[in-house]
Amino acid sequence: MSKVIISCAVTGAVHTPTMSPHLPISPDQIARQAIDAAEAGAAVLHLHARDPETGRPTADPDVFMQFLPRIKQGTDAIVNITTGGGQGMSMDDRLAAPLRASPELCSLNMGSMNFGMYPMLQRYQTFKHEWEPLHLEASRDWVFKNTFKDIEEILLRLGQGHGTKFEFECYDTAHLYTLAHFLDRKLVTPPLFVQSIFGILGGTGADTENLLHSRRIADKLFGDQYHWSVMAAGRHQLPFITMGALNGANVRVGLEDSLYAGKGRLATSNAEQVRLIRSILEPLAIDIATPAEAREMLALKGADNTSF
């Protein structure tokens, strides 16, 4: 079995400041937590940005550039910038930071979908910021748009234009077939880094049957041309990705996906979640990939070729 890549999604665009005092908001907090997660064993750092004052998700490349150089200087981990962004962001918004930074790796969502965050409203009586409940409620009517045209634009502008490779985020088995379509058209090149995502309202549920089915379909479509990774939202995070690793998957943790480190216990940092998954996998004789090993597995261009 090849070594397992641990990705860490540091802040995301789902959780809000009220939900955890440990969610990184400012560029300083994002940089510090990303570097700490890398030191704990994460080979890939998946990054979004936040408005430093309110914690609201932002696509502003100037904010990204306040933490990207610090992360590059502080660790050799692979920087993976979102192209999904967050609710209400246009395609130009979503591409602004990646096009400026020209990173080794970016996430790329492989289909449009309903993306419901509104059930989290019922867990909180009050919020720190006025935007938070409005943001969550708006997801009741939000379609996360990633059409064939959108995907092709990202592949051409960022992939072919900058040599960036992608973490293909697949929330449904249909998304695997979409990826196969772009592989057939030679707009993506192996090895593919396929992230199967479970437990988001609007996507595939975190059920064992779905995990195994996703692996079977990916094997059928891509054979030995891909590296599989698994992430799961909320309470499913650690048990589900452990099951994924036992079935040959790489894994993703981070406060974007879950705020907890155990039942009813908030994680104090992204690094804590990285250490937790290592403490589960290493006794099972599962080796953890270094950033250099992950770069070789994913055939990345190298940190020296980025623009930050």
* pLDDT tens by residue, 100-142: 999 999 999 999 999 999 999 999 999 999 999 999 999 999 9
230-255 confidence digits (pLDDT tens): 999 999 999 999 999 999 999 999 99
Q: Mean pLDDT, to the nearest integer, of 138-149? A: 98
Q: Mean pLDDT, to the nearest integer, of 175-189? A: 98
The rounded distance, in Å, linking the Cα atoms of 300 and 166 is 9
pLDDT of 89 strictly over 60? yes
The rounded distance, in Å, linking the Cα atoms of 96 and 100 is 6
Q: How confident is the model at residue 87 (pLDDT cuts 50, 70, 90)?
A: very high
pLDDT of residue 1: 54
Question: Mean of the per-residue pLDDT values for the chain?
Answer: 97
pLDDT of residue 2: 79
Q: Mean pLDDT, to the nearest integer, of 90-109? A: 98
Cα distance from N-terminal residue to C-terminal residue, the chain: 34
Q: Mean pLDDT, to the nearest integer, of 60-80? A: 98
pTM: predicted TM-score of the whole model, two decimal places: 0.97
258-281 confidence digits (pLDDT tens): 999 999 999 999 999 999 999 999
pLDDT of residue 17: 98
Query: Contact at 8 Å (CB) between 268 and 32?
Result: no
pLDDT of residue 115: 98
Percent share of the chain, pLDDT over 90: 99
Q: Mean pLDDT, to the nearest integer, of 291-306? A: 97
Query: Contact at 8 Å (CB) between 272 and 261?
Result: yes
pLDDT of 23 strictly over 80? yes
